[in-house]
């Protein structure tokens, strides 16, 4: 079964062709990052307009890359939640039109379920159940992946997402947008114990996280140094910050894995590209005798292939939509009904 999959929830317009959920035939991506860099963050209206300009071009490119024609498409999938709503709606409406035009099924995909599915592409042997740490620019959560389409949220951030936290600190440092990659590179060779940054604890919710205190403490540290004209050891600052983010995530991953009793742990989303978090996960999982699955770096960020992969399993579970499909800015990952 060949699925044309559309992803437009934030600042990448991506269209992929995926066969039977696990074989990526093509993956065309138009990034808007250069445009948003000017403003230091994603400007929602610009994102929507850029998706509108790029989406047809990406679909044609994905078909050309795969050497396929429109008639070869068996179903059309799209991210329908969560995301910037104007951006999501561009992809949903495009997918609805293509599905209607070709007379093929329409498959709505939850964006974070898509990120999780990036692991199926990287690891052909991976099957649920497993525990997944989902960390991106807009979401940070621990998910019990009971089955390909049955998921339960075990814990989540109470405030900022981990990626948002990286981006805000990087913006003040002036090292680029999105800031996670530049912060990761800056941290190389730094002393991760040089600057003291807080770790959070949410009372009565051990699997919930909080990043706003860490973000504020890091920004205060930077502003104080600027005001006092003190020179910071930037690699050590970035390393200390990366260690604090990782400490927020990794112990909770282990705790959640113990709670579920699963021997398999995965990570997903843009922040799962972070070298410190990957290393800490590897060490902790090895120590606890857990098998760790990490997505290929190129599949950590937003892409169409992951949507096409998850869409296949949604289709097998009967989760197709009619043409009343709408887009949503937020939606529980466990919700099985697209309406």
Beta bridge partners of 223: none
Closer to ligand KG4 by Cβ: residue 2 or 247: 247
Give the shortest CB-333-to-ligand KG4 separation in angstroms. Answer: 13
Q: Using CB under 6 A as the criterion, which residues of the chain lie in contact with ligand KG4 when the complex forms?
A: 10, 136-138, 163, 166-167, 178-181, 184, 269-271, 273-274, 301-302
Give the shortest CB-138-to-ligand KG4 separation in angstroms. Answer: 5
Give the shortest CB-140-to-ligand KG4 separation in angstroms. Answer: 10
Closer to ligand KG4 by Cβ: residue 108 or 179: 179
Closer to ligand KG4 by Cβ: residue 105 or 137: 137
Give the shortest CB-27-to-ligand KG4 separation in angstroms. Answer: 14
Residue 156 burial by CB count (10 A; 0-12/13-18/19+): exposed, middle or buried?
middle
Which residue, among 60, 81, 80, 49, has the nearest Cα to 17 in the 3D structure?
60
CA distances from 215 to 72, 98, 176, 211 (A): 48, 42, 17, 6
Give the shortest CB-36-to-ligand KG4 separation in angstroms. Answer: 11
Closer to ligand KG4 by Cβ: residue 19 or 199: 199
Give the shortest CB-84-to-ligand KG4 separation in angstroms. Answer: 10
Enumerate long-range contacts of 276-281, CB under 8 Å, 24 or more apart.
276/184, 276/187, 276/192, 276/239, 276/242, 276/243, 276/245, 276/246, 277/135, 277/242, 277/245, 277/246, 277/249, 277/250, 280/246, 280/250, 281/133, 281/250, 281/253
- For 282, residues 6+ apart whose C-beta sits below 8 A from its C-beta are 292
CA pseudo-torsion sign 170, 174, 178, 183: negative
Written as six digits, the tokens of 209 are 């996280």
Give the shortest CB-101-to-ligand KG4 separation in angstroms. Answer: 28
Give the shortest CB-306-to-ligand KG4 separation in angstroms. Answer: 10
Closer to ligand KG4 by Cβ: residue 107 or 307: 307
DSSP state of 209: B
Closer to ligand KG4 by Cβ: residue 105 or 242: 242
Closer to ligand KG4 by Cβ: residue 21 or 138: 138
Written as six digits, the tokens of 1 are 């079964």
Closer to ligand KG4 by Cβ: residue 104 or 118: 118
CB of 262 closer than 8 Å to CB of 129: yes
Tell me the C-alpha distance between 26 and 206, whole Å: 41
Closer to ligand KG4 by Cβ: residue 96 or 115: 115
Q: Is the peptide bond before 148 cis (omega within 30 degrees of 0)?
A: no
Terminal alpha carbon distance of the chain: 25
Give the shortest CB-121-to-ligand KG4 separation in angstroms. Answer: 15
Tell me the C-alpha distance between 219 and 273, whole Å: 23
DSSP state of 82: S
């Amino acid at each position: 079964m060949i699925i044309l999959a559309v992803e437009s929830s934030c600042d990448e317009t991506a269209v992929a062709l995926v066969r039977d959920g696990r074989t990526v035939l093509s993956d065309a991506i138009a990034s808007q990052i250069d445009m948003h860099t000017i403003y230091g963050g994603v400007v929602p209206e610009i994102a929507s307009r850029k998706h509108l300009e790029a989406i047809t071009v990406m679909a044609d490119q994905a078909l050309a890359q795969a050497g396929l024609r429109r008639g070869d498409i068996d179903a059309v999938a799209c991210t329908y939640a969560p995301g910037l709503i104007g951006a999501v709606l561009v992809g949903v409406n495009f997918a609805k039109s293509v599905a209607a035009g070709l007379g093929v099924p329409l498959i709505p995909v939850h964006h974070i379920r898509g990120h999780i599915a990036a692991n199926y592409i990287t690891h052909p042997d991976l099957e649920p159940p497993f525990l997944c740490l989902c960390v991106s620019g807009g979401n940070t959560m621990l998910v019990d992946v009971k089955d390909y389409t049955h998921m339960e949220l075990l814990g989540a951030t109470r405030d900022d997402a981990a990626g948002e936290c990286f981006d805000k600190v990087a913006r003040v440092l002036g090292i680029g947008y999105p800031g996670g990659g530049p912060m990761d590179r800056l941290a190389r060779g730094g002393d991760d114990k040089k600057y003291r940054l807080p770790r959070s604890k949410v009372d009565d919710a051990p699997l919930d996280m909080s990043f706003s205190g860490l973000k504020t403490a890091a920004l205060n540290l930077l502003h104080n140094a600027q005001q006092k004209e003190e020179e910071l050891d930037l690699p050590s600052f970035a390393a200390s910050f990366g260690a604090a983010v990782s400490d927020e995530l990794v112990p909770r991953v282990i705790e959640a894995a113990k709670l579920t009793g699963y021997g398999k742990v995965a990570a997903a989303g843009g922040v799962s590209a972070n070298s410190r978090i990957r290393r800490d996960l590897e060490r902790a999982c090895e120590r606890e005798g857990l098998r760790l699955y990490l997505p290929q770096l190129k599949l950590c960020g937003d892409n169409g292939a992951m949507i096409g992969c998850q869409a296949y399993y949604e289709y097998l579970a009967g989760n197709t939509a009619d043409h009343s499909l709408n887009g949503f800015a937020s939606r529980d990952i466990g919700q099985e009904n697209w309406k």
